Amino acid sequence: MKLGRRLKTRLIEGALFASALSSVLITAGIVGVLIFETAGFFKEVPLWDFLTDTQWTPLFLDKHFGILPLFAGTFLTTVVAMAVALPVGTATAIYLSEYASERVRASVKPALEVLAAVPTVVFGYFALLFVTPLLQRFIPGLSGFNSLSPGIVMGIMIIPIVASLSEDAMHAIPMGLREGAFALGATRLQVATRVVLPGALSGVAAAFILGISRAVGETMVVAIAAGQQPRLTMNPLVPIETVTAYIVQVSLGDTPTGTLEFRTIFAAGMSLFAVTFALNILSFALKKRFREVYE
Amino acid sequence: MRKKIFALALSILAIAALAKAAKSGLISIDGSSTVYPITEAVAEEFQKAEKGKTNVTVGISGTGGGFKKFCAGETDISDASRPIKPSEVEACRKNGIEYIELPVAYDGLAVMVNPKNTWVEHMTVKELKKLWEPQAQRKIMKWNRIRAGWPDKEIHLFGPGVDSGTFDYFTEAIVGKAQASRGDFTASEDDNVLVQGIATDALALGFFGVAYYEHNKDKLRLVPIDDQNDENGKGPQEPTYDNVLRGAYQPLSRPIFIYVSKKAAAKPEVERFVRFYLKNGAQLSREVGYIALPAKAYELATKRFDKRMTGSVFSGVKVGVKIEELLKKEGR
């Protein structure tokens, strides 16, 4: 009887360990496939060309494999998204953490959750069919496909992430610090910006980085509303193509597997992975540096 | 315990029976987004006539994409807005797929601009070539580079992607070599994306099958094309029904096809579908905005299908096929 029970415990332990191990293995598998196919890609395309060529036309007769135009598209949409999400998200977090009554908090927080729950494809069509025509009324030169409209919608989409994580970070600041500041005669705003925010900086920075990662990796909104024309530009009013939209375009098309054109998907995916990985490391480092531990 | 086993067995039987009953005939079609409106209209009417006995799915992977699937034996019928290429003939041969080539309608490939575009009243084939050839990439970026007197503003180009037969045909007809095109334009096999792009951008120019223009007349403006060949009709021509029929809209008039797998044609539902297509194709293609072939052409196509004549008579044929030549070829 005793042996049976021991075996059962060991088995359960093993099964749980296997589950935990599986996520590591899957990540390793994904990275492995990316590296393998990307290596195949770089056998035919020099890394220098990939990083410096200013055109991306791998499917056409005159082939160019410069990733810069695609990253320009991703960069543009991300910058616009962050211009919307970071200020609004942080302001929302400050309000919810420092000003809001329990009642307001109870209704605003669920509303944020709903915003986060809207499917990205819905956001995409919202950008294409509502936001773009609306913007075209104020900006006459705006093309139907551009990076401004999906950027704004992505920003709206990312507000809940930034707000929620920042608010959690601010909430962790002990009340004692705030009370001390109030006792010294500080206003609410001063407490929020001079005591709480600096104290929660690591968490807020982590929220920012997560928001940026989310924007960089966003696919649906840009695939629908940003266009499919890779071009190296900083103009948010013209059609562009992001890295993610390109990957979708070729994956859904009929490029045969094993060809150089097919491997461009992996090269693009690998560079995207490198960027988000770097952002993650940055977030980790920032957290470590600015972290303040309270008793 | 016995009751549980009995209930389980009964439910398995029930599911199997349901599955068998639900397993109606399925016809899978894929390929050109240009031919899609006709095939989809035919499929709708066919499924209505069959009262749900047969399901027809129609994809829009582009002519090239459709042939890749067709020659791999994955689809029964391939929509194509250009004849099958020699490389695709070879791929089909390798996999033992025999095909019956059937022209179903005539298309005038339309060049379109936004209604707010006030400066283009016609374009010549030479200007289109200057705009779309590979050397134009990054060089011809503004309207005044095509023709002096046009605005000094950016051109935003829209067109089908490299898997599209429309792309193959346009590049062959305008630039002189299939697939020879600049790469810096918005490429999409989905013509609705192109319509959306041109309709919302005053500086846009694009090309696709005239049927998509017919359905979006209020959002787009047609550009008459002048091939500077008086034999075909003097001056710029629009892809109207009559112009395409009498061969005046050149070089962008072209027949569009369906390719039926001989193996699939052995299935009774596929045979019924193809006959239905050829019988109603004329009327339905007119309805969706294409130019119907003369009745004789559909007769000859039906005869071709009856005899299960495989192989292509259009593959490798010169651009600018007029309806009379089409009929001649059918007779052979």
Alpha carbon distance B3, A282 (integer Å): 62
Rg of the Cα atoms in chain B? 22
Residue in B with minimal Cα distance to A54: B138
Contact B99, B259 (CB under 8 A): yes
Alpha carbon distance B95, B80 (integer Å): 19
Residue in B with minimal Cα distance to A129: B196
Per the listing, tokens 């079609």 go with B29
Q: Does B156 touch chain A (CB under 8 A)?
A: yes
Structure tokens at A91: 């302001």
Q: Does B186 touch chain A (CB under 8 A)?
A: yes
Q: Does B163 touch chain A (CB under 8 A)?
A: yes
Alpha carbon distance A84, B311 (integer Å): 59
Decide: helix, strand or coil at residue B59: coil
Contact B160, B167 (CB under 8 A): yes
Contact B76, B260 (CB under 8 A): yes
Q: Does B112 touch chain A (CB under 8 A)?
A: no
CB contact under 8 A, A61 and B181: yes
pLDDT tens across B148-189, in order?
A: 889 999 899 999 988 888 898 899 889 988 888 998 899 888
CB contact under 8 A, B154 and A238: yes
What is the crossing angle of helices A148-171 and A102-117, to 10°?
Answer: 140
Residue in A with minimal Cα distance to B177: A61
pLDDT attached to residue B327: 55
Residue in B with minimal Cα distance to A64: B183
C-alpha pair distances (Å), B254 with each of A184, A237, B324: 84, 36, 12
Residue A132 distance to chain B (closest CA, Å): 9
Residue B23: pLDDT band (50, 70, 90) is low
Q: Does B134 touch chain A (CB under 8 A)?
A: yes
Alpha carbon distance A236, A222 (integer Å): 13
Per the listing, tokens 């007809």 go with B173
CB contact under 8 A, A230 and B184: yes
Per residue, the 3-state secondary structure of A207-244, as one string, reads: HHHHHHHHHHHCCHHHHHHCCCCCCCCCCCCCCCCCHH
Q: What percent of chain A has pLDDT over 70?
A: 97
8-state DSSP, B117: -
Q: What percent of chain A has pLDDT over 90?
A: 65
Once rounded to an integer, what is the mean pLDDT over residues B62-88? 91
Per the listing, tokens 């987004």 go with B33
Contact B98, B263 (CB under 8 A): yes
Once rounded to an integer, what is the mean pLDDT over residues B87-97? 92
Residue in A with minimal Cα distance to B198: A144
Q: Which neighbouring-strand residues pair with A173? A: none
Q: Tell me, yes or no, if the two domains B26-106+255-330 and B108-245 fold the same way.
A: yes
In this structure, what are the phi and psi dihedrals at residue A16, rounded to the nearest 5 degrees?
-65, -40
Q: Which of B182, B184, B200 sits opposite A143 (nearest CB)?
A: B200
pLDDT at A291 over 80: no
CB contact under 8 A, B181 and A228: no
Alpha carbon distance B106, B35 (integer Å): 10
8-state DSSP, A67: S
Q: Which of A55, A61, A256 sits opposite B179 (nearest CB)?
A: A61
Per residue, the 3-state secondary structure of B4-19, as one string, reads: HHHHHHHHHHHHHHHH
Identify whether A140 is preceded by a cis peptide bond (ω within 30 of 0).
no
Residue in A with minimal Cα distance to B202: A143
Contacts of B64 in chain A (CB under 8 A): 254
pLDDT attached to residue B184: 87
Q: Which of B68, B134, B156 sits opposite A239 (nearest CB)?
A: B156
pLDDT attached to residue B247: 77
| Nearest C-alpha neighbor of B157 from the set B222, B203, B210 | B203
Residue in A with minimal Cα distance to B184: A229
CB contact under 8 A, B187 and A61: no
Residue scoring higher pLDDT (B231 or A295): B231
Alpha carbon distance B127, B123 (integer Å): 6
pLDDT attached to residue B246: 78
| Secondary element (H or E) of residue A159 | helix A148-171
Alpha carbon distance A153, A129 (integer Å): 12
Residue B235: pLDDT band (50, 70, 90) is confident
Residue in A with minimal Cα distance to B67: A254
Best mutation target, B33, B139, B156, to test chain A (most A CBs within 10 A):
B156
- Domain spans, chain B: 26-106+255-330, 108-245
Structure tokens at B162: 């490299």
Alpha carbon distance A260, A41 (integer Å): 6
Q: Which of B65, B154, B181 sits opposite A60 (nearest CB)?
A: B181
8-state DSSP, A191: I
Mean pLDDT score across all residues of chain B: 86
B141 burial level (CB within 10 Å; 0-12, 13-18, 19+): middle
Alpha carbon distance B284, B260 (integer Å): 19
| Nearest C-alpha neighbor of A60 from the set B183, B1, B111 | B183
pLDDT tens across A83-104, in order?
A: 999 999 999 999 998 888 889 9
Q: Does B179 touch chain A (CB under 8 A)?
A: yes
Q: Which neighbouring-strand residues pair with B55? A: B26
pLDDT at B10 over 90: no
For chain A, the residues whose C-beta falls within 8 A of a C-beta of chain B are 55-57, 59-62, 64, 128, 132-133, 136, 143-145, 227-231, 238-239, 249, 253-254, 256
Q: Can you spell out the DSSP letters for B257-311?
A: EEEEEHHHHTSHHHHHHHHHHHHHHHHHHHHHT-BPPPHHHHHHHHHHHHTT--B
Long-range contacts of A132-139 (CB under 8 A, 24+ apart): A132/A225, A132/B200, A133/B200, A136/B200, A139/A237
Contacts of B200 in chain A (CB under 8 A): 132-133, 136, 143-145
Residue A263: pLDDT band (50, 70, 90) is very high
Structure tokens at B158: 């829209």
CATH number 3.30.450.20 given to B26-106+255-330: no
Decide: helix, strand or coil at residue B1: coil
Decide: helix, strand or coil at residue A104: helix
Which fold is adopted by the domain B108-245? D-Maltodextrin-Binding Protein; domain 2 (3.40.190)
8-state DSSP, B75: -
Contacts of A143 in chain B (CB under 8 A): 156, 197, 200-201, 203-204
Contact B178, B168 (CB under 8 A): yes
pLDDT attached to residue A236: 93
Once rounded to an integer, what is the mean pLDDT over residues A188-215? 90
Structure tokens at B331: 């007779």
Residue B331: pLDDT band (50, 70, 90) is very low
pLDDT tens across B290-323, in order?
A: 888 888 888 888 888 888 888 887 776 666 666 5
Contact A169, A218 (CB under 8 A): no
pLDDT attached to residue A135: 94
Once rounded to an integer, what is the mean pLDDT over residues B240-247? 81
Contacts of B156 in chain A (CB under 8 A): 143, 229, 238-239
pLDDT attached to residue B332: 36
Structure tokens at B35: 């031919």
pLDDT tens across A157-173, in order?
A: 999 999 999 998 898 88
Per the listing, tokens 């009709």 go with B233
Alpha carbon distance A196, A194 (integer Å): 6
Contacts of A55 in chain B (CB under 8 A): 137-138, 183-184
Residue in A with minimal Cα distance to B195: A144
pLDDT at A292 over 70: no
Rounded to the nearest 10°, the torsion over CA B29, B33, B37, B38 is -60
Rounded to the nearest 10°, the torsion over CA B280, B282, B285, B286 is -120
| Nearest C-alpha neighbor of B314 from the set B254, B239, B251 | B254
CB contact under 8 A, B186 and A229: yes
pLDDT tens across A125-160, in order?
A: 999 999 999 999 999 888 889 999 999 999 999 999
Alpha carbon distance A16, A22 (integer Å): 10
Residue A252 distance to chain B (closest CA, Å): 9
In this structure, what are the phi and psi dihedrals at residue A76, rounded to the nearest 5 degrees?
-60, -50
Alpha carbon distance B132, B183 (integer Å): 9
pLDDT tens across B244-257, in order?
A: 877 788 888 888 99
Contacts of B134 in chain A (CB under 8 A): 60-62
C-alpha pair distances (Å), A260 with each of A38, A265, B184, B235: 10, 9, 19, 44
Residue B80 distance to chain A (closest CA, Å): 15
Contacts of residue A262, Cβ cutoff 8 Å, sequence gap at least 6:
A250, A255, A256
| Secondary element (H or E) of residue B187 | strand B186-187
* Beta-sheet pairing, B77-80 with B204-209: unpaired
Q: Which of B137, B162, B186 sits opposite A59 (nearest CB)?
A: B162
